[in-house]
Structure 1
Amino acid sequence: MTKVSVIIPAYNVESYIGRCLTSTVNQSLKEIEIIVINDGSTDNTLNVINKFCSLDNRIKVIDSKNNGVSAARNYGLSRSTGKYIFYIDADDWIETNALKEMYEVAEENNADIVIANAYIDYDNGKLVPYIDGKLTCDEPLKDFLIGNIRPSVSTKLYRRDLFTYNNIRHFEKIRIGEDLLVNFFLILHAKKIIKIEKFFLHYIQRQKSAIHSYQESMYDIYIVLDKIEKFLKENNLYEKYKNEFFYLKYMHTYYYRVVLSPNINSTHKYFYKRWIKEKDCYLGNNYLLEFLMKEKYINRVIEKLYRTNYFLGLTVGILKENIKKFIK
Structure 2
Amino acid sequence: MKSDSFKEGLVSIIIPVYNTSAYIDRCLDSVTKQSYNNIEIILVDDGSTDDSHEKCLSWAKKDDRIKIITQKNGGLSAARNAGLDVCKGEYIQFLDSDDKIGQDMVKKMISEIEKNNADLAACAFYNIYEDKTLKGSMKAGIIIGNDIVKSMFSPGFFLSSCNKIFKRNLLLSETGQFIKFTKGLLSEDSVWLSEILPKAKRAIYVDIPFYYWYRRSDSLTRGSGEVRLDEKAMTEITAFEKVAKNCKEAGKDVYEAANKRLFVILKQKLFAAYRKKDKKLTKELNTKIKNVLKEYKPSNKVDKIVVIKFKFMRLLYRMNINAEGFALFSKRPEFVTRDSSMEELKEKIQ
Q: Does 1:193 align with 2:206?
A: no
Gaps (5+ residues) in structure 2?
A: 1-7, 318-322, 334-350
**Relative to 1, partners in 2 of residues 1:272 and 1:213: Cα closer, same or farther, differing over 3 Å?**
closer
Match for residue 113 of structure 1 among 98, 113, 120:
120
Indicate the percent of aligned positions where both proteins have the same amino acid: 25
Instruction: State how 1:79-228 maps to structure 2 within 5 Å.
Output: 79-124=86-131, 126-132=132-138, 138-144=145-151, 146-147=153-154, 149-166=157-174, 167-206=177-216, 207-209=218-220, 215-228=230-243
Q: Distance in 2 between matches of 1:88 and 1:219?
A: 25
**Relative to 1, partners in 2 of residues 1:26 and 1:142: Cα closer, same or farther, differing over 3 Å?**
closer
Give, as a single letter, the amino acid of the residue that structure 1 aligns with 2:171. Answer: F
Match for residue 264 of structure 1 among 255, 266, 276:
276
Q: CA deviation at 1:137?
A: 7.2
Q: Distance in 2 between matches of 1:82 and 1:223?
A: 31
1:166-191 Cα shifts (integer Å, max 9, x gaps) = 44423342321211111011101012
**Relative to 1, partners in 2 of residues 1:214 and 1:26: Cα closer, same or farther, differing over 3 Å?**
farther
Q: Distance in 1 between matches of 2:270 and 2:139?
A: 26
Q: Distance in 2 between matches of 1:101 and 1:73?
A: 24
**Residue 159 of structure 2: SS of its match in structure 1?**
coil
Q: CA deviation at 1:127?
A: 0.6
Q: Is the 8 A contact 2:150 2:254 kept in 1?
A: no
Instruction: State how 1:289-304 maps to structure 2 within 5 Å.
Output: 289=302
Aligned to 1:19: 26
1:125-153 Cα shifts (integer Å, max 9, x gaps) = x1112225787875235514534544211
Q: Is the 8 A contact 1:113 1:194 kept in 2?
A: yes
Q: CA deviation at 1:224?
A: 2.8
**Relative to 1, partners in 2 of residues 1:205 and 1:237: Cα closer, same or farther, differing over 3 Å?**
closer
Q: Distance in 2 between matches of 1:7 and 1:96?
A: 17
1:261-291 Cα shifts (integer Å, max 9, x gaps) = 9963749746752455346437750258359
1:216-274 Cα shifts (integer Å, max 9, x gaps) = 122323433443455566xx66767542332232233325x456999637497467524
Aligned length: 310
Aligned to 2:264: 251
Give, as a single letter, the amino acid of the residue that structure 2 aligns with 1:158. Answer: F
TM-score, reference length from structure 2: 0.75
Point out the more displaced range, 259-268 or 302-311: 259-268
Q: Distance in 1 between matches of 2:332 and 2:244?
A: 36
**Relative to 1, partners in 2 of residues 1:165 and 1:277: Cα closer, same or farther, differing over 3 Å?**
closer
Aligned to 1:297: none
Q: Is the 8 A contact 1:106 1:112 kept in 2?
A: yes
Q: Distance in 2 between matches of 1:44 and 1:319?
A: 48
**Residue 12 of structure 2: SS of its match in structure 1?**
strand
Q: Distance in 1 between matches of 2:252 and 2:39?
A: 42
**Relative to 1, partners in 2 of residues 1:154 and 1:285: Cα closer, same or farther, differing over 3 Å?**
same
Point out the more displaced range, 35-44 or 146-155: 146-155
Point out the more displaced range, 280-289 or 161-170: 280-289
Q: Does 1:31 align with 2:38?
A: yes
**Residue 169 of structure 1: SS of its match in structure 2?**
coil
RMSD value, Cα: 3.6
Point out the more displaced range, 208-217 or 69-78: 208-217
Q: Is the 8 A contact 1:163 1:186 kept in 2?
A: yes
**Relative to 1, partners in 2 of residues 1:78 and 1:265: Cα closer, same or farther, differing over 3 Å?**
farther
Q: Distance in 2 between matches of 1:75 and 1:127?
A: 32
Q: Is the 8 A contact 2:124 2:210 kept in 1?
A: yes
Q: Is the 8 A contact 1:302 1:313 kept in 2?
A: no
Aligned to 2:286: 273
TM-score, reference length from structure 1: 0.80
Aligned to 1:76: 83
**Residue 198 of structure 1: SS of its match in structure 2?**
strand
**Relative to 1, partners in 2 of residues 1:189 and 1:291: Cα closer, same or farther, differing over 3 Å?**
farther
